[in-house]
Amino acid sequence: MLEATGGHPYDTMEVAYYAYLLGRDRPNPFDRALVMATIDQTEDMLAPVFAAELDSWGAKARLVLARLAQGQPRCGREGSNSAIRNALQDLLPAGGLVRLRRGRYAFGEPMLWRHLRR
């Protein structure tokens, strides 16, 4: 569960809640199948939240996130370097991305990464 959520407090709480709901009447509730089902259910529940969050960040920020989620470089032919820098400046304080080192970023919320890869 923690691998899927990256320890993000809200996402971890939601996955644990769904695990409890799905597993409370099972003799061996916490097997791999249950955990994967709860992660999928949490992703479905969070989809509208992520959609609203992505809308609030703007088109360039969404493009940067989508490219990073797909393992592509953060900038391509779609935008200028200054537009990409501006998008990064919006995403970093908002928690969409975390700077690892110069030019390297990770998603602040791994469930958002999973959402974008769907």
Quickly count: other Cβ atoms within 10 Å of residue 115's Cβ. Answer: 21
Q: Report percent pLDDT > 70 for the chain.
A: 92
CA–CA distance, 11 with 38 (Å, rounded to integer): 11
Q: What one-character DSSP code corresponds to residue 8?
A: -
Question: Residues near 116 by Cβ (< 8 Å), separated by ≥ 6?
Answer: 65, 66, 69, 70
CA–CA distance, 100 with 79 (Å, rounded to integer): 23
Residue 30 backbone dihedrals phi, psi, to 5 degrees:
-105, 65
Confidence (pLDDT) at 78? 55
The overall average pLDDT reported for the chain is 85
* Mean pLDDT for the stretch of residues 15-19: 90
Confidence (pLDDT) at 49? 92
* Mean pLDDT for the stretch of residues 32-54: 91
pLDDT digits (tens, 9 = 90+) for 44-95: 999 999 999 889 888 888 888 888 888 876 666 655 677 787 888 888 888 8
